[in-house]
């Protein structure tokens, strides 16, 4: 993921928390997509999706 895309993902994350009023957001990211895991979310757990794809669950709460 390019730095520009990381910046866009961070801006979207902040917008969802600050402008949309969400208290918490989660993101499910494929385990092999390491670049997308750099947007400042906390890793909660690894899961397997219904399609047998390994994904990692990340989250962030407002104010953290």
Number of domains in the chain: 1
Chain segment 16-35, per-residue pLDDT in tens: 888 898 899 998 889 998 88
Residue 1 near residue 36, CB atoms below 8 Å: yes
Which positions ≥6 away from 32 have C-beta within 8 Å? 54
Average pLDDT of the chain is: 86
Evaluate if residue 56 carries a pLDDT over 90. Answer: yes
Evaluate if residue 1 carries a pLDDT over 70. Answer: no
- DSSP code for 13: H
- DSSP code for 39: S
Domain of 14 in residue numbering reads as: 3-61
Output the six-digit token pair for 36: 């997308």
pTM of the model: 0.74
Question: What pLDDT sits at residue 42?
Answer: 92
């Amino acid at each position: 993921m390019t730095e520009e895309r990381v910046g866009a993902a961070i801006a979207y994350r902040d917008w969802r928390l600050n402008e949309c009023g969400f208290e918490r957001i989660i993101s499910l990211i494929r385990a092999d997509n390491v670049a997308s895991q750099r947007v400042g979310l906390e890793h909660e757990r690894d899961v397997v999706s219904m399609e047998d794809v390994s994904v990692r669950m990340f989250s962030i709460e407002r104010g953290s």
